[in-house]
Amino acid sequence: MTRDRTEAPRTDPSRRRGACPRLFEPMETGDGLLARIVPSGAIALEAFAALCAAARTHGNGLMEITARGSLQVRGLTEISAPRFAEAVEALAVSFDEHIPVVASPLPARSAAGFRPQELAKNIRTEIARRDLKLAPKVSVVVDDCGPISLDGLAADVRLRLLDSATAPRLLISLGGDGETAMPLGVTRLEHGAEVAADLLVALSLSGSNARVRDIVALEGLDRFVHAAGARLEATNKRFSPRATETIGLHRLDREACALGAALPFGQAHALDLIALARIAEANGAAWVALAPQRTLLLGPIGEMTAFALGTAADTLGFIVDARDARRRIAACAGAPACAAGHITARALAARIAERLPQGDFALHISGCSKGCAHPRPAPLTIMGTAQGARVIEADSVVHLPISSAYTDEFIEDIARRVAVESEDA
Ligand code: SF4
């Protein structure tokens, strides 16, 4: 595709909050324009460091990994956003320009040698071939059922490996996450890309804003069954969703591992990411892959090296222990980074986390009622509103003036409540 590299990023409707920000269609936020990149595979460390350097040069230096494993760059401007996009395009970084096709991030380990990245690439090719007009939030997930589960990611079309050395198959399900998606049927590996694209063609018949879950709710599975045709064997197979840990060591083969390190509250400074990439490189790693749970994976490295790299990542402020107290809190960008934020969610989260012991997820801090960081109920929630801060715990809701939410007394009280919740659990 040829692009006018000098043109400014497009304006409405892509700039509005709630739209899907992309590299060439950044979104307005409280701290400038935000661009999102969905990498289509691992990124060479050199290219990743260059991308982070570009984020620092053209943005405010703050970078994020989302819960779905996308990369976000904050603080771009009208002038710098196209320059940043141009810098990224010049790097050896491949990313989804159409809809996101998210594949299991680690190299293949299945008995059948299934390569999720390869299938994802073929799906992209088939989608491009059909020139589909789809809603920007439509997505496809390719899950190899390996060490990192994608069951937590909702998608319009899901392909899940049913592994078997002799007859591997793909289970196709629609419109939800690993728990809620409707099973459609089973297909052979070689049909996976075409079937996925044909399902999206069936979706596009309802217009460029349609989502699979809405079509399924309205009219059932018929049009999708028809679109897949003889390549599909009927099934109503459902699997319990798998919860896996992204942080820590993941074995790639007998000699090599990948180390998962998460960004505290999903955010880090470009300089820290560059430093981590350099240390990983010095320890023999070659790539970084983004994963769900706001994690980056560095590999391939030896087990002994992984320990040194983990220590360095910890020193830089990254999370390398799954039970790190910061992981007990989900906090969105909040004020001032998000224009809708009424409270500084991440700053508040960092202060509370300092007072917490390790443990399980316990607290959601949301800049406004939208709840971006944790769309489900949490044991304890602090929410910013135009009238003040709201503290929600089970059936009790307490309203406070905003200023009260920043006092040491309040922070101590929240930390104590989290500790009590942990004891009760
Ligand atoms: S929940 Fe947080 S990030 Fe989402 S719109 Fe509200 S303030 Fe912004």
pLDDT of residue 12: 44
> What's the pLDDT band for 419 if we cut at 50, 70, 90?
confident
Above 80 in pLDDT, residue 324? yes
Select from 338, 364, 390 the residue to mutate for testing ligand 1; criterion: most ligand atoms less than 8 Å from CB: 338
Are 176 and 154 within 8 A, CB to CB? yes
- Counting atoms of ligand 1 from 1, which one is nearest the CA of 384? 7
382-409: average pLDDT? 94
Distance CA 138, CA 302 (A): 38
Cβ atoms < 10 Å from Cβ of 278: 14
Distance CA 285, CA 276 (A): 11
> What's the pLDDT band for 294 if we cut at 50, 70, 90?
very high
- Counting atoms of ligand 1 from 1, which one is nearest the CA of 338? 8
Q: Cα separations (Å) of 331 from 133, 302, 321, 416?
A: 33, 33, 18, 18
* Token pair recorded at residue 118: 């390869």
- Min mean pLDDT across 16-25, 71-80, 144-153, 244-253 is at 16-25
- Whether 168 lines ligand 1, by a CB cut-off of 6 Å, is no
Q: Cα separations (Å) of 203 from 147, 181, 191, 217, 227?
A: 31, 15, 18, 13, 10
- Whether 196 lines ligand 1, by a CB cut-off of 6 Å, is no
Q: Dump pLDDT digits (tens) for 87-111.
A: 999 998 998 888 999 999 998 666 6
Q: Dump pLDDT digits (tens) for 118-127.
A: 999 999 999 9
How far, in Å, from the CA of 32 to the mean position of ligand 1?
Answer: 15
- Counting atoms of ligand 1 from 1, which one is nearest the CA of 339? 8
pLDDT of residue 253: 85
Residue nearest to atom 6 of ligand 1 (CA): 368
How far, in Å, from the CA of 342 to the mean position of ligand 1?
Answer: 9
In the predicted model, what is the mean pLDDT of the chain? 91
How far, in Å, from the CA of 388 to the mean position of ligand 1?
Answer: 15
- Whether 372 lines ligand 1, by a CB cut-off of 6 Å, is yes
Tell me the residue length of the chain.
Answer: 425
Query: What domains sit in the chain, N to C, each tagged with a CATH number?
Result: 27-89 (3.30.70.3340), 108-234 (3.30.413.10), 248-320 (3.90.480.10), 326-424 (3.30.413.10)
> What's the pLDDT band for 210 if we cut at 50, 70, 90?
very high
Q: Indicate the residue type of 84.
A: F
Q: Which positions ≥6 away from 282 have C-beta within 8 Å?
A: none
131-157: average pLDDT? 95
63-90: average pLDDT? 96
